[in-house]
Every structure is written in C-alpha cells, then in structure tokens.
Structure 1
Amino acid sequence: MPEQASELTILEATEEEVRSGFVGRQLRAFNYGFVGEYPEQQSIRLNAKDADGHVVGGVRAYVFLYWLQIDVLWVAEDARGRGLGSRLLAQVEARAMELGARNVKLETFEWQARGFYLKQGYEEFARIDQYASEYYLAFMKKTLR
C-alpha cells in the first residue's frame, strides 16, 4: 500500500544524489513513453576573445529535445556594434543544428536585446509584464534552417 503524503519527508538532495542523476533519469524514462528516445542534453559554450586573449563576448546554451535553449549571450559594451553578437548567435545556431536542433528559444528582458533578436529572425511568442520592476521578460523563438 502506498505511503500517505504526510508520511514522506522532503530534504535537500545530497551531492551524491545529485551526481547520480537518478531523478533526471526517472523523468527521462517517463518522457520516452510520450516522445520516444532522444539524445541527452548537450551544452554549447562559446567565447569571443580579443587580440590580447580577453573574453569580450560569449554564449551559454544547450540542446535538449531538439531545441536550442540560449541562456546567456553577452557582448562587452566596447565590442558592440561590430557584428560580434550576430557571429556568436550564428555559431551557436550552427553548432546546435549539428547536434540535431530544429528550433531555438530564449528569454530576454526588454532592456536587453529584444530588438537584436528580432533582426536575427526571432519572434516574440510570449511575455511576462513587470517581471523585474516595470520591465517585461520576452520569450522568443526561431526555426533553424
């Protein structure tokens, strides 16, 4: 007979439990029943460096369920306006397609790079108003070709 919820405890996961990946594997097995097997999450981390080797831009992203998720795309203020953001975006999209991604999604605050992404072919499909003070958070996507 299953235990009652009041008889169960919720604790912070131990380092060993996190390293084992047990919870993630259980969810993955459940998902397979609906969408079939898919590759494990693949990280993409790219940096742009100047002639002196200083990082002046970068992107942190991953491919999961054939979607590229861009978590961070950053270009140093003094390196902006020279196409570096577009180059980083093109490279992460190309790498994602090599890993099987068909689409890309990201989030950006209104003060960040919404206009930049629109110019790159992204569309805003949702937003949360007043996410950070009076500013909205835009959710954007694009089909990769």
Structure 2
Amino acid sequence: MPQIVRLAAPTPMEREAIVAPLDAFSRAQGFVWQPEPLTLVLRDDGGRIVGGAIGETNWGWLHLTVLAVSQDLRGQGWGSRLVREMERLAWDRDCHHVWVDTFSFQARPFYERLGFTVFGTLPHYPAGQERYFLSKPLERPEARDSP
C-alpha cells in the first residue's frame, strides 16, 4: 500500500520522479513543459553583483521570477533596463507575453509603469499584505524602443 513520506529536501531525482506523472499527463494533452532559464546579472564597477533578473520562458511566455537592484542603485532606471532586456530576450525566443508577481510592500507601481496590469490578487499573503500577479503582452523590440 502507498505511504506518504515527508522529504526535508528532495534530491533532483526525487523531484523528477514526483513531477513525472504530471509531466506525462501534460504531454498527453499536447503541452510539453520545457522551461528555458533566462538570467541577467547587474554588476558594479568592481565586478560585484548588485542586482539582476531571473526568469524562464515556456509556452510563449516569460515568467519573471526575480528582479532586484541594490538600494543605492534604485531610482536610476536599472530595474526598467533589466526588465526591457529580459523582454527583448524573451521576444527572441518567440514569447508573446510576460508575467510577474510582487507584493503590496514591493513593486506593483513599478510594474504598472512598465505596462503590466494586475490579473490576480492573493489577499493576506503575507498577513496584512497582498500578493499581486501582473502580465502584459510583449511588443516588438523595435516598436517599443521607437520615440
């Protein structure tokens, strides 16, 4: 008889085994899950990492999972540049949309200034706050960069 067992930290092989039934079902429906990582690093003049962007592309979408810029560089356009470069690279991978999530104590207005709109909200996560899910269609890079 099957048993439920808690794993503190699954190995890559255990994770793959857990995901295998879901992957098989999705493939049978015609949806192959093959995310491609996409990462940009922001380095200062000394070569230290002071921010960057992490995401992945799959099924024509860029999922931007992390965007960070050190406190002393904020407000100088680095976050916008990182997002635009991630979008350009995603466009090159034939992506047509991008999505991101953020919290009420973080960057919702920043993403909205970049053209993102909220498509979902998770209330009380964390307590007293909200988590927002935002998306936008990608534009042809040349059209976006035109005056």
Q: Same fold (TM over 0.5)?
A: yes
Q: Which segments of 5 or more consecutive residues in structure 2 lack a partner in the other structure?
A: 140-147
1:39-87 per-position Cα deviation (integer Å, ceiling 9, x unaligned): 6210111111111112121111111222211111001111011110011
**Correspondence 1:139 to 2:112:** no
| Compared CA separation, residues 77 and 26, structure 1 to 2 (3 A) | same
Partners of 1:109 and 1:16 in 2: how far apart?
29
User: 2:23·2:32 contact (CA, 8 Å) conserved in 1?
Assistant: no
**Compared CA separation, residues 135 and 39, structure 1 to 2 (3 A):** closer
Q: Which secondary structure does the structure 2 equivalent of 1:132 belong to? A: coil
Number of positions where the alignment pairs a residue of Structure 1 with one of Structure 2: 137
Query: Who is 1:3 aligned against?
Result: none
Taking the aligned partners of 1:78 and 1:14, their CA distance within structure 2 comes to 37
Q: Distance in 2 between matches of 1:53 and 1:93?
A: 24
TM-score, normalised to structure 2, is: 0.82
- Separation of aligned partners in 2, 1:66 and 1:28: 18
SS in 1 for 2:47: coil
Distance 2:127 2:10 in 1: 35
The correspondence of residues 61-140 of structure 1 with structure 2, limited to 5 A, is: 61-140=55-134
How far does residue 125 in structure 1 lie from its aligned partner after superposition? Answer: 1.0
Q: Counterpart of 2:49?
A: 55
Q: How big is each residue's C-alpha offset from its partner over 1:6-61, in whole Å with a ceiling of 9 and x where there is no partner?
A: x2112338636337x34434423321332x35462101111111111121211111
Deviation readout 1:63-119 (Å, 9 max, x if unpaired): 122221111100111101111001100111111222232211111001111001001
Distance in 2, matches of 1:73 and 1:139, equals 14
Structure 1 segments unaligned to the other structure (5+ residues): 1-6
Over aligned residue pairs, what C-alpha RMSD do you find? 2.0
* Paired position in structure 1 for 2:143: none
Higher Cα Rg, which structure: 1
- TM, length-normalised to structure 1: 0.83
Alpha-carbon distance between aligned partners in 2 of 1:119 and 1:49, rounded to the nearest angstrom: 24
